Amino acid sequence: MTAPEPARTKPIKITRPPKPKWWRIQNIRRMAQAAFFLLFLGLLAQTALPLRPLLPVDLFFRADPLVFLTAGLASRAVTPSMVVFSVGVLVITVLLGRFFCGWVCPMGTAVDLSDRFLFRVRKNRDLSPYRNLKYYILASLLVSALFSAQPTYFFDPLSLITRTLVWVAVSPLWIMGRWLGGQELVYRLAPSLAQTPLIPQIQPYFRAHWLAALIFAAVLALGYASRRFWCRNLCPLGALLALLSRWGLVRRQVKDDACLECRRCDRECKMGAIQPDPRRTQATECIECYNCVPLCGPRSTALPLALSRAGFDTGVDVKRRRLLGAAGIGALWAGLVNGDLGAKRSGNSEIRSLSPALIRPPGSLAEAPFLDRCTRCALCMKACPTGGLQPALAEAGLEGFWTPVLVPHIGYCAQHCNLCGEVCPTDAIQPFTPEEKSHLYIGRAVIDRSDCLVWAQGKECLVCDEHCSYRAIAWEEGEDGSRRPLVRSHLCTGCGECENKCPVQPRAAIRVISFGDRRHLSREAQARLRQDPQGT
C-alpha cells in the first residue's frame, strides 16, 4: 500500500497589471516633468539680448529654498524676489510632501533620463548606509552660510545643471546651429532667426568648462550604483525638502489583506522609500512618482490624501556625532575661505584686492556681500552678449571660485547691456540701467607705455580712443608736437572695450585693473565722483 502523495499547494499567481492609460497620475507626473524641463531650457535659452521673456528667466532659482536660505544666512539679508516662490515651495512641501523632486526639479529629470537610457542594468547593492549623507551635507552648508561662506553652489542641483548647460552645452550648440544648418543659409534665408538667442552672434567660450562637465558626468554616472543615487544620498535641497515632507498629506497606503509581498513595488521605487516590509514607507524619501501604484497586481497600493499615519514612517536616523562633525567641517570651511589669505587691504578697510584682474560685473555688491550671495548659477555669463563674463579661477581666491569676472581680452562690457543685473536671482548683481553704467566703476584702464604703439614706437594709433564708449581717453601733446593717449580716471568705468580692441597682442598695451573698483561706494557717491573727481 503506497503512501498518499502530499497535497500540492497552488502557487500564487501574480497577474500582470494592464498598462496605465495616459490620464493616470503616473503619466501626468511624467508629462509635468517634461513640461517643467522644457520650461527650464526655454527660460535658459531666453537669457540673452533682447530680454523679453513672459516669465522671469531666473524663475527656478527663485523657487529654490536652499539658495534662498543659504544666501540669506550668509548675507544677513532677504532677497525679495525669492520670498514668494521659495516660501511657496516650502509650504506646499509641508502640505503635499516632497513633490518638487519628483515633479519639478530639472536635475531630477536629467538623472531619470540618464538612469533610463544609460544604466538600465545595475548590480544589486545595499546603499542604505549612504542615505543620510545628504543631511550631513545640508548641515555643513547651513553652518558655513551662518559664518558668511557660500559653498552651496557646488551641491545645489539647480546651480549644478544650469552651470553645466551654460558652460558645456552652449558652445557645441552654437557650432551645430551655425554649421550643421549652414551659417550662410541662416543669414540669407532667415536673417531674423540669425539674431535670436538660440543662435548667438559670438561663439561662447568658458574657462574650466571641462571641470563642470566632469562633475556633472560623475553625478550621472552614480546612477550605475542605484537609481537616483544623487537624489537619494547627496542632494542637500532634497534633504531640506525631506525634513519638511514628514507632515505631507499625500501618503502611501497599502491594504494589508490584499498585499502579496511580491516586492515589485520595492524593486521599482526610484528612491528606495519602501521598507523591508512593503506595507511601510519612509516618508522623507517618497517623491510621489506613483511608480509603485500601477505595478501592484491586486491594486492594494495607493497614494491618496490621508491623515492616517499607518505604515508611514517619518523618522530620520541621523547620528548626533556625525551631525556635529558635519557642522565642524562647515565651520572649518568658513574659516578657511574667510581668512583672506593672500588678500591685500588698502587704506579703506572695505576694499580688498586679491588680483588686479578681479573685475566684477557692473552693479555688483561690494566683494564680501557679493560672495555671500553669489550662487555661481552662470545666468549672468549666459546673458553676457560679448562672452566677457567668465568663471573666476584664481582671481578671487578660494572663496570666489567660479564667481563671475570680466575678462576683457575675451569680451568687454557693452555700454547698452544691463542683462547681468536683470537675471541675477539673488541680487548679488543689483539691477541697473544702461544710463547708470557711466558711474558704475568696476575697474580702471591703464596704459603700458612700454608696449603702446604710440608711446613706445611713435606710431599713429587711435584704437582705444575710437572704441571708448565713455570718452575716457585724452591726448597729451609733447614738446616735439606728438600726441599721446592718457586715461581720464574719473571717466573710465573699466568696461574693457579698449583692452579688447587693442591691436597689440598677445597682451594688450592698455589693460583694465581692479584698482579703480568703487563698488564699496553707493551709486550716488559714484555719480558725484564722476562729476567732481576732486570731491570739492
Asked if residue 476 lies in contact with residue 534, where contact means CB atoms within 8 angstroms, the answer is no
Chain-centre distance of CA 223, in angstroms? Answer: 21
Range in 306-315, 338-347, 448-457 the model is least confident about: 338-347
**Can you tell me the mean pLDDT for 486-507?**
93
What pLDDT is recorded for position 150?
Answer: 86
Does the pLDDT of residue 196 top 60, yes or no?
A: no
Instruction: Identify which of 464, 344, 340, 451 has the alpha carbon closest to the alpha carbon of residue 412.
Output: 464
Does the pLDDT of residue 274 top 80, yes or no?
A: yes
Q: By CB neighbour count within 10 A (0-12 exposed, 13-18 middle, 19+ buried), where does 74 fall?
A: buried
How many of the other CB atoms lie within 10 Å of CB of 495?
A: 29
Percent of the chain with pLDDT over 70: 84
Q: Where along the chain do its domains lie?
A: 19-337+365-374, 375-531
Q: CB within 8 A of 329, min separation 6: which ones? A: 140
Model pLDDT for residues 33-53, shown as the tens digit of each residue: 999 999 999 899 888 877 777
Contacts 24+ apart (CB under 8 A), 119-124: 119/223, 119/224, 122/223, 122/224, 122/225, 122/226, 122/227, 123/225
**Can you tell me the mean pLDDT for 415-438?**
93
Range in 3-17, 264-278, 451-465 the model is least confident about: 3-17
What pLDDT is recorded for position 175?
Answer: 54
What number does CATH give the domain 375-531?
Answer: 3.30.70.20
Range in 60-69, 177-186, 375-384 the model is least confident about: 177-186
Answer positive or negative: Cα dihedral of 69, 71, 72, 73. Answer: positive
How many of the other CB atoms lie within 10 Å of CB of 120?
A: 9
Taking the C-alpha atoms of residue 294 and residue 310, their distance in angstroms, rounded to an integer, is: 21
Taking the C-alpha atoms of residue 536 and residue 533, their distance in angstroms, rounded to an integer, is: 8
**Can you tell me the mean pLDDT for 207-216?**
90
Taking the C-alpha atoms of residue 486 and residue 473, their distance in angstroms, rounded to an integer, is: 6
Taking the C-alpha atoms of residue 286 and residue 99, their distance in angstroms, rounded to an integer, is: 9
What pLDDT is recorded for position 428?
Answer: 95
Instruction: Identify which of 308, 204, 192 has the alpha carbon closest to the alpha carbon of residue 250.
Output: 308
User: Backbone phi, then psi, for 68, in 5-degree steps?
Assistant: -60, -45
Does the pLDDT of residue 242 top 90, yes or no?
A: yes
**Can you tell me the mean pLDDT for 77-82?**
92
**Can you tell me the mean pLDDT for 258-287?**
85
The pLDDT-based confidence of 464 (bands split at 50, 70, 90) is very high
What pLDDT is recorded for position 303?
Answer: 84
209/68: higher pLDDT: 68
Instruction: Identify which of 98, 34, 103, 419 has the alpha carbon closest to the alpha carbon of residue 245.
Output: 98
Range in 87-96, 100-109, 211-220, 479-488 the model is least confident about: 479-488
Model pLDDT for residues 444-463, shown as the tens digit of each residue: 999 999 999 999 988 999 99
Percent of the chain with pLDDT over 90: 49
The pLDDT-based confidence of 264 (bands split at 50, 70, 90) is confident
Helix (H) / strand (E) element for 352: namely strand 352-353
What pLDDT is recorded for position 239?
Answer: 95
The pLDDT-based confidence of 69 (bands split at 50, 70, 90) is very high
**Can you tell me the mean pLDDT for 16-24?**
55
Chain-centre distance of CA 241, in angstroms? Answer: 18
Asked if residue 487 lies in contact with residue 473, where contact means CB atoms within 8 angstroms, the answer is yes
What pLDDT is recorded for position 471?
Answer: 93
Model pLDDT for residues 358-387, shown as the tens digit of each residue: 999 999 999 889 999 999 999 999 999 888
What pLDDT is recorded for position 200?
Answer: 46
What pLDDT is recorded for position 345?
Answer: 53
For the chain, what is the mean pLDDT? 84
Range in 103-107, 150-154, 183-187, 427-431 the model is least confident about: 183-187
Does the pLDDT of residue 395 top 80, yes or no?
A: yes
What pLDDT is recorded for position 418?
Answer: 92
Taking the C-alpha atoms of residue 23 and residue 4, their distance in angstroms, rounded to an integer, is: 54
What pLDDT is recorded for position 307?
Answer: 81
**Can you tell me the mean pLDDT for 349-356?**
63
The pLDDT-based confidence of 520 (bands split at 50, 70, 90) is confident
What pTM value is reported for the model?
Answer: 0.87
What pLDDT is recorded for position 50?
Answer: 75
Taking the C-alpha atoms of residue 343 and residue 431, their distance in angstroms, rounded to an integer, is: 28
Range in 180-184, 303-307, 400-404, 474-478 the model is least confident about: 180-184
Does the pLDDT of residue 346 top 60, yes or no?
A: no
Answer positive or negative: Cα dihedral of 66, 418, 385, 530. Answer: negative
Does the pLDDT of residue 277 top 80, yes or no?
A: yes
**Can you tell me the mean pLDDT for 156-163?**
95
What pLDDT is recorded for position 184?
Answer: 47
Q: What angle do CA 282, 285, 286 make, to 5 degrees?
A: 85
User: 519: which 3 cell numbers?
Assistant: 563698488
**Can you tell me the mean pLDDT for 343-365?**
71
Range in 32-41, 226-235, 271-280, 407-416 the model is least confident about: 271-280
